[in-house]
Chains A and B, each alone.
Chain A
Amino acid sequence: MKDRLAYLVRRLIQVPFVLIVVSIIIFALVHVTPGDPIQIMLGLETSPDAVAALRKQYSLDRPLPEQYIIWLTKAVQGDLGQSIRSHQPVTQMIAERFPVSLKLAAVSMFFALLLALPTGILSATRRNTWLDYLCTGISIGGLSIPNFTLAMLLIFVFAFKLHWFPITGIGSAIGPKTLWGALAPYSLPALALGVQQTAILTRLLRSSMLDVLSQDYIRTAHAKGVSNWSVMVSHALKNALIPLVTVTAIQFGYLVGITITIEFIFAIPGMGLALLDAVINRDLPVIQGFTLIMAIFFILANLLADIVYTLVDPRIKY
């Protein structure tokens, strides 16, 4: 426990340095990209005076290093600025959208793990049988279909034709106030995202299980008469889960931040769509603020993965 805490503290100390590097890179990239956010917001018909006045308001008339320092100083105090386009505080935008993306990512990953675990195990334990081929084929299919294509197919079949699920409605104030009403809009987007994740995790787990199942201690366990189930769960799976934990953490971070096409298709007010809007409109405070939050989330997700390792395998020490 002490070791884990010490490791956690060491990792947390590194976080600010990582974030500064990330923020500098994003700041530089965004400012190098052509396009004046003030002009885009005000429109071409605006007078140069109006543009100059607003640039001053957002400190865009200052030298770049000074702009960065101003932004950083405010950011450490929790003020990520204000959207140039909507005039909404960036922190408020994040507070509205982050939970939506988090929920979607959680549902997608839950679905993916629910399918990937049994499928990966089956595929590994029934290697080179029709079951294995079936699972492999489905995995490859899941990886090959672009998620937006799958999304449109799911909408057409399950929403449009069968009326089983709604197409939009995530975050709606006027949907049915039931558990189903709250969960239903997540179903199709989570499926569209989850299929690809299932494929990735299944393939990974299969390969990891095969590696573990070929170890001597597994043969020893069988020889000692340990049941198949115990060998699978208590011995093999625990060790095979370690790479799965890493990938799940990384994929979860990806799902939270960068599912732009799915958010676009299903009209989900998540982080990805807001970031896309911000990039198109050169809404610099939003780009910087959102990217910073996503970076923080990624770092924390990976940190959590590292902690989970030690729980899965107590032999791992930091």
Chain B
Amino acid sequence: MNKERINTSSKINRRKFLKMSAAAGLTGMGTILLSHIPPAIGAGKKNLIHGIWGGDPGNLSPVIRWDVSAGVIAYNIYDNLVQPNYKKHVIEPLLAESWKNIDPLTWQIKLREGVMWHKGYGEVTAEDVVYTWNFHIESKSFQVGTALWPIDGLKVLSKYVAEVKLKQPFGAFPGVVMGYGGLLVSKKAHQEIGNEAYSRNPIGSGPFVFQSIIGGKEVVLKKNPNYWKKGLPHLEELVFRSIPDSHVRLQSLVRGEVDFCTHPDPKDVSEARKNTNLVYTSIPGWNWDYQTFNLFKKEFPYQNKLVRQAISYAIDREAIQKEIYHGEATVNDCQIPYGFLAYRQPPIRYPKNGDLKKAKELMAKAGVKGYEVEVITSDKDWLRRELELITSMVSQIGITYKIRNLDMGSFTNLWLNHKYEQLFEDIMIVAPDTDPTSWWHLHSKGTFNSGYNSPEMDKLLDDARAESDPKKREVLYHKVVDLTLEDCPKIYHVNVNLVRFYKKGLEGFEPAPQEDRELFVNTRWEG
């Protein structure tokens, strides 16, 4: 009797399984390779894709406060009244053709003629200047406490001339009021579109016209065909793609998905510099990272300025520059970065490698053996690492920093309400003038003041602010810095370099020390 053989051919054994997997894998690979054609990179390019950091750029209207990453986009949509010349360290005309200080309390601004708003909203006139600044003032916007604080009255003198009356003399008017507060909205467009809608549908007069914003992640700008600088811009299209992770941003550039990227992780910079297809630029930024003491809290030993000086002496700033920023920072013990009026080659008082002996002497002189203090910082990863390094440095003079890392919301809440003992943060200097580096932080009425009250400092800052002669201002600011370094209400460490990488072949890009200024009006692709 024949028994039916059990059919075992359907049984999967190891050999069959491996063969099937290999076949499936090869088929898959073939399909992928044949169907995926990488986009051409560089050939005949007329556009530029910029990988910017941060998430949704948010608002793009200059009358509502924006984030730095939104500023990068916005400064390509709007022309400012003036622009800083970073090489000559002067303010130059842009939308404003000229300006004059008629008397200590009066400035007149003459606009360039024939500059057109985007999308058919007519010519830029003095009415737009008056409208924009009045809107800021009436809506009590963020500019009221910063750039536009001295304005007492505004008037349209003629089609292209606006007159500004001030509450007090202000020598920094061109740099602060016109430089930081000088982005205008079109009166006609703003009234028609409405303030809220303007933030997602900006109308500027700059080299690029807003086209679209996609899912809060990608902003597309098109060339302004009616731009007042004839022949510019060269690029047809600018695309800003938000890529929050710094490694991924740089990898996207190397891979060719984007053409330009900023804020790479400092650890990745040296490796990326070896890539011959990329251009690397690094420029000391208009920023600082710093420690602040809450001088409202009278119980802490740091009330004694000798203790604060000791801390400053204990800091090895060069180690911070090397360990945290991998060389992409500039040691600076004061608040004035390179390029500002009254800049002096740092370090001015505190040695770049610190002076532990001096620090200990000062602690002894102050009669303080050591203490514990809580230091808050925000969720910026590099600041946390820097604070850990600083903690180890100050421990050598008996001070223990208890680090409290907070998300930005909680951090801002404590900062605003002065509910902290010590604070560590970084800040960008927004206006091309020395006034904001000092007045807002060190004047007893300054927004960022944390309990420091020195009549001598207040007088120096007020005098420097009112003075219009740059040479006299410089002398005053030197005194401000010297007093800052003596009293140490804040301790400054470094100015972080702004590192940018972009594809070889891109010409005409001028790196700026301002984090939100990446201007592509003059850029083009080779050939």
Contacts and interface: CB of A to CB of B under 8 A. Distances in A.
A46 B145 contact: yes
Nearest to B195: A87
B19 interface: no
Contacts of B248: 155, 167-168, 265-267
Contacts of A174: 47, 49, 218, 220, 237, 239
Interface string B48-76: 01010001111100001100000000000
Given A44-B448, A131-B17, A269-B215, A184 B36 contact: yes
Contacts of B216: 86, 88, 93, 96-97, 269, 274
Task: For chain B, give the interface size range.
Answer: 35 or more
Contact of A173 (B17, B218, B243, B413): B218
B255 interface: yes
Contact of A82 (B39, B196, B413): B196
A48 to B, nearest CB: 9
Given A35-B410, A47-B145, 18 more contacts: A34-B409, A42-B65, A44-B448, A50-B139, A88-B216, A97-B216, A159-B251, A167-B248, A168-B51, A168-B243, A171-B217, A172-B241, A174-B239, A176-B37, A180-B36, A269-B215, A274-B55, A279-B409
Nearest to A286: B56
A47 B140 contact: yes
A225 to B, nearest CB: 12
Contact of A44 (B17, B237, B415): B415
A167 B254 CA distance: 11
A238 interface: no
Given A50-B141, A155-B251, A36 B245 contact: no
A101 B99 CA distance: 52
B1 interface: no
A267 B243 contact: yes
Contacts of B400: none
A318 interface: no
B144 A86 contact: no
Contacts of A46: 65, 141-142, 144-145, 447
A235 interface: no
A281 interface: yes
A176 B39 contact: yes
A112 interface: no
Interface in B130-156: 139-142, 144-146
26 contacts: A34-B413, A35-B410, A39-B413, A40-B408, A45-B448, A50-B140, A85-B59, A93-B216, A97-B215, A100-B215, A155-B248, A159-B255, A160-B251, A160-B254, A165-B36, A167-B252, A168-B243, A168-B257, A173-B220, A174-B49, A174-B239, A184-B36, A264-B244, A267-B217, A273-B244, A274-B55
A44 B447 contact: yes
Interface string A242-274: 000000000000000000000011111100011
Given A42-B65, A163-B38, A49 B243 contact: no
Interface of B: 12, 14, 17, 32-33, 35-39, 47, 49, 51, 55-59, 64-65, 139-142, 144-146, 196, 199-200, 212, 214-218, 220, 237, 239, 241-245, 247-248, 251-252, 254-255, 257-258, 379, 407-410, 412-416, 440, 447-448
Contacts of A100: 215
A164 B257 CA distance: 13
Contacts of A78: none
A45 B49 CA distance: 33
A277 interface: yes
Nearest to A176: B39
Given A35-B412, A39-B412, A85 B58 contact: yes
Contacts of A88: 199-200, 216
Interface in A81-122: 82-83, 85-88, 93, 96-97, 100
A167 B257 contact: yes
Instruction: Give 4 closest A-B pairs by Cβ, nearest first.
Output: A35-B409, A269-B217, A269-B215, A50-B140
Nearest to A167: B252
B67 to A, nearest CB: 8
Contacts of A241: none
B408 A281 contact: yes
Given A46-B145, A269-B215, A86 B59 contact: yes
A215 B275 CA distance: 63
A40 B412 contact: yes
A75 to B, nearest CB: 19
A36 B416 contact: yes
Contacts of B36: 164-165, 180, 184
A131 B21 CA distance: 13
A286 to B, nearest CB: 10
Contacts of B144: 46-47, 49-50
A55 B519 CA distance: 35
A45 B446 CA distance: 9
